[in-house]
Amino acid sequence: MLSLEFCIACVMLISLIIYMLTGGADFGGGIWDLFATGRRAKAQRSLIAQAIAPIWEANHVWLIVIVVLLFVAFPVAFAAISTALHIPLTLMLIGIVLRGTAFVFRTYDDQSDTTHRRWSRVFAVASVITPVMLGVTLGAVASGTIHVDVESGQVETDFISAWFAPFPFAIGFFTLTLCALLAAVYLTLEAEDPALREDFRRRALIAAVSVGAMAGLSFILSAEGAPAIRRGLGSAPWSIPFQILTGAVALWAIWTIWKRQFRRARLLVLIQVTLIVFGWGLAQYPYLVTPDLTFSNTAAPDAVLRPLMIVLVAGGVLLVPAFWYLYAVFKGTVPFHNNR
């Protein structure tokens, strides 16, 4: 029978996957807003704004779910992560707030070119910083540099070295490229103008190649930067078939983008990102914070986990249909469908 802490950890992983597929694409939109160029730059930014506007705030619900579950179900791990990694977490929070604020002010403030350009710059830069810091945090959690006394909960940290290292930043930029890939592929379907569609097709191809490069670099750096993850990805019985599957899906996605099969490309990119995040979760298991905190030795008592599971089930019954309806109204019957 599955333990309560394992079930809750699975919900956290699923929430992270959904956040990457939805909120990550929003960040990716901001990335391409920063790199909007040429005579269609204004049209590119307008398309990005139209695609993001109906749903961008709601997507952060999944991040909130992760934070709340971590706080309630794994309080020692929450304390360790928020202590040792409070700098990247704070930068990530600032980025989320700034990009949301800038997006709103860009829409409703004075529409002069100077004002619009200023808010666009804030929105775009914050959209780059946020996924990088999210990836840095995940990389640091997996790196094995955060040491915790399980009995006392005391964290051994200088607040810098756990995250300011090559491997966490490689994961940070890996996350950035995944967000850019998701957004570019989604936007090929949002675009009605063939020229705009081609703009984002080229960006999708660039992002797809960048994802592969950052995945390779992250794997190389994991030998010293995250040995537990390296062992999981390199020697576990499931790892080689899983990596072959993920690589095959990635190559197939590139092929469909190249052949302009955008609907199939969207599905394949969704699968690719899901496999990448799921593979990270498999390699990380059973550690919540490598190398001292596992899901079992940091979990709250069953008296806390049981009602939490009840709340999760009840909340899921309300949340999932509400999100589906939100996407059905603004994006068609399938998420990110553009009603065409």
Please state, in angstroms and as integers, the Cα–Cα distance from residue 141 to each residue in 71, 76, 162, 178, following that order.
15, 13, 8, 19
Q: Give the tens place of pLDDT for each residue, 266-283.
A: 999 999 999 999 999 999
Return the percentage of the chain with pLDDT > 90, whole number: 70
Domain range annotation of the chain: 4-331
What pLDDT, on a 0 to 100 scale, did the predictor assign at position 339?
40
Distance CA 257, CA 260 (A): 5
Evaluate the CA torsion angle 269, 259, 328, 187 in order and state its sign. Answer: positive
Q: Give the tens place of pLDDT for each residue, 239-274.
A: 899 999 999 999 999 999 999 999 999 999 999 999
What pLDDT, on a 0 to 100 scale, did the predictor assign at position 219?
93
Q: Give the tens place of pLDDT for each residue, 113-157.
A: 777 788 889 999 999 999 999 999 999 999 999 998 877 778 888
Max intra-chain CA distance, the chain: 61
Distance between first and last Cα of the chain: 46
Confidence of residue 332 (pLDDT cuts 50, 70, 90): low
Instruction: Identify the three-state secondary structure at position 177.
Output: helix
